[in-house]
Structure 1
Amino acid sequence: MSTTDLDDLVDAPAGAGAGGLDSWRTLPAAQQPSYPAGADLDSVTAALRSMPPLVFAGECDDLRTRLAMAARGEAFVLQGGDCAETFAGTTADNIRDRVKTILQMAVVLTYGASTPVIKLGRMAGQFAKPRSSDLETRDGVTLPAYRGDAVNDYAFTPEGREHDPARLLRTYHASSSTLNLIRAFTTGGFADLRRVHEWNRGFVGNTAKARYEVMARDIDKAMKFMAACGADFEALRGVEFYASHEALLLEYERALTRIDSRTGDPYDVSSHFLWIGERTRQLDGAHVDLLSRVRNPIGVKLGPSTEPDDVLALIDRLDPDREPGRLTFITRMGAPRIREALPRLVETVDRAGGQVLWICDPMHGNGFESPTGYKTRNFDDIVDEVRGFFEVHAALGTVPGGVHLELTGDDVTECLGGFEQIDEAALATRYESVCDPRLNHQQSLEVAFLVAEMLAARAAS
């Protein structure tokens, strides 16, 4: 992560006169908390406005440049992390293991793509989740649904499920702690290329998958070649690592918006990259309005019901200047529909000259409930959606720019399949997600090797 002086960022004052930054307050705002009477939201947002930025404008600009490279096929994006972060899970071990998993995956993908891999963590801010229902019922008791630790508690009690604005301050501090550790891990030698390669060799040794051994041996040869040529491995001891989350809670995002005194532009300094979800991307809605006014690189999730006119309108609202690296479309179609639903969207954007980056989210369109009552996903469906994503772009001559995965560094049992052959009976063994099922450490690395094969095939074609 690069830095810029703190003095370059100043508070963006509240009020409709602040460059339109508060215009969203007059628009429909989906998926927002319902705070009880007497909850002191104003004092919480005032405190957030006084807090230092979590990221810097210069870092956001750097990421926008990197994403523009990915849109041109000169880099590939790996975006991954928890479905929903929790305050209790903000520990050094958990953060280290997620970073380690992403670093391991990135090395494999870098080799497969023969291009840089942009490491974008779904971390340090992913503490809120949209829900399909406002309420949850258990054993005849109905309470507000869990909306992530930034809003309420997972504990199924009236007190725990009450929406509490003070949790926004805890979200800020948990995000700050996470970013501090990410910076330490990615610049202090933990991310050394040689070390990460050794981790991957250990993974391949446990899989009994000959197809992965071939690529691992090829990477090993490349490492030895670099060493023989006198490559400066000290320069490879650190990596760039960026943070991202869904910009769901508008009061939080607005309170952390600052003005860059160099340019006068507003930046949402809660994260480098922010995305708008499938449930909140209404053109006349508050989320689109607020994110249209900040200079961060931003994304939008697109489901299978998305129409070509929708994507054109989103480009006009969010990227009217057609700036490379500004706008990313993250598709979440589902394996059965990706090959049918995606082509017309990509073709429409290509014909219109949109400078967008396309990323595949193969997680959210492939969820289902197991007979034992667990929300889960099938590993084969996840891989098939990524494969369909590549096939569509290959047929159209466009660029498959990245993947977006819900994953953890732990050996959980939440998604079926993979070389471990997790079955429905095994889901109860270590099902730990508070929202959606995640790929575990081994499944994540297996996806990386499979996607690396797709990238290598694309490069050879």
Structure 2
Amino acid sequence: MTADTTADWMSLPAAQQPAWSNPDSLHEVLSSLRSSPPLVYAAECDQLRDRLAAVARGEAFLLQAGDCAETFDGVSADQIDTKLRTILQMAAVLTYAASVPVVKVGRMAGQYAKPRSSDLETRDGVTLPSYRGDAVNGPAFEAATRVPDPHRLTRMYHASATTLNLVRAFTTGGYADLRRVHAWNRDFLALSPVGRRYEDLARQIDSALAFMRSCGTLPREIQTVEFYASHEALLLDYETALTRVDSRSGNLYDVSAHMVWIGERTRQLDGAHVEFAARIRNPIGVKLGPTSTADDALALIDRLDPDRRPGRLTFITRMGAEKIRDVLPNLVEKVTASGARVVWVSDPMHGNTYKSESGYKTRQFSSILDEIRGFFEVHRHLGTHPGGIHVELTGDDVTECVGGAHEIGDADLQQRYETACDPRLNRSQSLELAFVIAEMYGNSGVGTRAHRGEERR
């Protein structure tokens, strides 16, 4: 990729970029990244775009899930294992209980940077730069730690490579074999209501697989799983360094992830992030908050998906439970009338965040469910496809979101509040969410259409 190519977006205003401490070090780091191997390949990005096209047509469902903000300390086989296992369990619930093919995309292997509402943070009269994720600076409230360090971009690259290598090993080496649905649950939730419900579903899957095996029709596809990586394309220095020209087509691809998204704070039409996303061929997501208008959505479509190609553009709505039913209908109606075939996805997390009485930032599980319920209601009323969910979760037994089957309360938050940024669903809450969504999907009538679409393919 030439400098002239990057000038199209690097010369534009870019929101939420860190003030790097050492320009010479930044230049050195970016030069190294530009010559580093790709983390993903263009053909994989194209494959994901094809899978998302099926979602846009109403033939599949997108499950996009993972950490709010990954940390370098979290790059271990155990932590990646539990997170991946939770996502696979959710996908098994949705696939079997809702009778819908599930496209699995992790918020993994690159989600190391976060936008912030303020550049500075003040505690006890001391003001320091805000923590912007491990890719930029450290979480400890110390002057030396909070200085944006460009060498962290190199650590981000290597942490992402390690995570992707482990995910590929898990998903192709037999770990993700659907015949292991019991093993995924053996260490956890055995006595909980959600755990027992999952075990019931696992037995049903076992019975179905046994029948297929006896008929000699057990497909090889159940032994592996397609799993894709995504993150917010926030740090444009990093994303640009990992953008390459595909030798097959001559097109630009961001090889840091299969899919990248633009956040609510960086989707300015005249900004660098939108211009960058318009130039690359990866599947693109855009977060739409409660102030988004139909004109905003249509303008983004014109910039990011001018050819109206299904699977290219995903709108991730983050309205909040109280606003989803009022704001979303007009957006969906106007976008559908324009002829665009976007993927509609619900992010029920960000619009439902609040500060608890104990001082912790948290989310109420019932509000998360209510926003998803409103999302399904809107699409059912309009006859459009509720394409998926985008959630922040962990495979660990944290206490960060209140509610759920285990009835986590405000007083429980301090027990295991471990997030680097925003509160995440724990494994029990994530599985409970999957069962509720499966019921919503089946009741909405789209599951039948998805099944018919899969048969046509």
TM-score if structure 2 supplies the norm length?
A: 0.94
Alignment of 1:269-284 (within 5 A): 269-284=255-270
Question: 2:188 & 2:397 partners in 1: Cα distance?
Answer: 13
Q: CA deviation at 1:115?
A: 2.2
Answer yes or no: is 1:302 the counterpart of 2:304: no
Give structure 1 stretches of 5+ with no counterpart: 1-11
CA contact (8 A) 1:204 1:216 kept: no
* 8 A Cα contact 1:332 1:365, kept in partner: yes
After TM superposition, give the deviation of residue 198 of structure 1 in Å. Answer: 4.6
Q: 1:397 aligns with which of 383, 400, 415?
A: 383
**C-alpha RMSD over aligned residues:** 1.7
Change (3 A) 1:159 1:235: same
Question: Unpaired segments of 5 or more residues in structure 2?
Answer: 449-457
- 1:64 corresponds, among 42, 49, 56, to 49
Partner of 1:101: 86
Counterpart secondary structure, 2:281: coil
Which of 241, 245, 255 lines up with 2:227 in the alignment?
241
Aligned-pair CA distance for 1:203: 6.2
Tell me the distance in 1 between the aligned counterparts of 2:190 and 2:117: 42
Equivalent-residue separation in structure 2 for 1:384 and 1:48 (angstroms): 43
1:449 counterpart residue number: 435
- Tell which deviates more after alignment, 189-198 or 224-233: 224-233
Contact in 1 for aligned 2:182/2:199 (Cα 8 Å) = no
CA distance in 2, matches of 1:382, 1:171: 30
8 Å contact 1:107–1:197 — kept in the other structure? no
Contact preservation (8 Å) 2:22, 2:150:
no
Question: Aligned partners of 2:264 and 2:125: how far apart in 1?
Answer: 31
User: Offset at 1:233?
Assistant: 5.8
Q: 1:233 to 1:320 in 2, by over 3 A?
A: closer
Q: Residue 152 of structure 1 aligns to which amino acid in structure 2?
A: N
SS in 2 for 1:55: coil
Counterpart secondary structure, 2:191: helix
Question: In structure 1, how many angstroms separate the alpha carbons of the residues matched to 2:203 and 2:51?
Answer: 29
1:439 matched residue in structure 2:
425
* Number of residues of Structure 1 aligned to a counterpart in Structure 2: 446
> Structure 1 stretch 232-241 or stretch 216-225: which is displaced more?
216-225
**Residue identity in the other structure for 2:47:** D
Q: Does structure 2 retain, via aligned residues, the 8 Å contact 1:29–1:287?
A: yes
Q: In structure 2, how many angstroms separate the alpha carbons of the residues matched to 1:76 and 1:165?
A: 38
**Which amino acid letter does the alignment assign opposite residue 151 of structure 2?**
A
Listed as ranges, the matches of 1:198-209 within 5 Å are 198-200=183-185, 205-208=190-193
**Contact residue 231 and residue 259 of structure 2 kept, 8 A:** yes
Determine if contact 2:21/2:150 at 8 Å carries over to the other structure: no
SS in 2 for 1:64: helix
- The alpha-carbon deviation at position 196 of structure 1 amounts to 2.1
Match in the other structure for 1:175: 160
1:213, distance to aligned residue in structure 2 (A)? 7.0
Shift of 1:334: 0.5
Mapping 1:58-137, distance limit 5 Å: 58-137=43-122
- Tell me by how many angstroms 1:216 deviates: 5.3
Residue among 250, 255, 276 paired with 2:236: 250
CA deviation after TM superposition for structure 1 residue 54, in Å: 0.2
Deviation at 1:235, TM superposition (A): 3.9
8 A contact 1:318–1:327 mirrored in 2: yes
Cα distance in 2 for partners of 1:387, 1:193 equals 29
Partner of 2:451: none
Q: Distance in 2 between matches of 1:171 and 1:445?
A: 29
What amino acid does structure 1 have at the position aligned with 2:93?
Answer: V
Answer whether contact 2:283 2:311 (CA < 8 A) is retained. yes
CA shift, 1:207, in A, is 2.6
Q: How big is each residue's C-alpha offset from its partner over 1:377-402, in whole Å with a ceiling of 9 and x where there is no partner?
A: 01111111111111100000000011
| Equivalence for 2:297 | 311
**Residue of structure 2 in register with 1:357 after alignment:** 343
2: CA distance, partners of 1:116 / 1:309? 32
Identity %: 64
Q: Distance in 2 between matches of 1:259 and 1:84?
A: 29
* CA distance in 2: counterparts of 1:113 and 1:78, whole angstroms: 13
Residue deviations 1:203-250, cap 9 Å, x none? 675333687676555445433433333342654111000000000000
1:21-60 equivalent positions in 2, closer than 5 A = 21-60=6-45
Secondary structure of 2:72's aligned partner? coil
The DSSP-based 3-state class of the residue aligned with 1:245 is: strand
- The farther-off stretch of 374-383 and 133-142 is 133-142
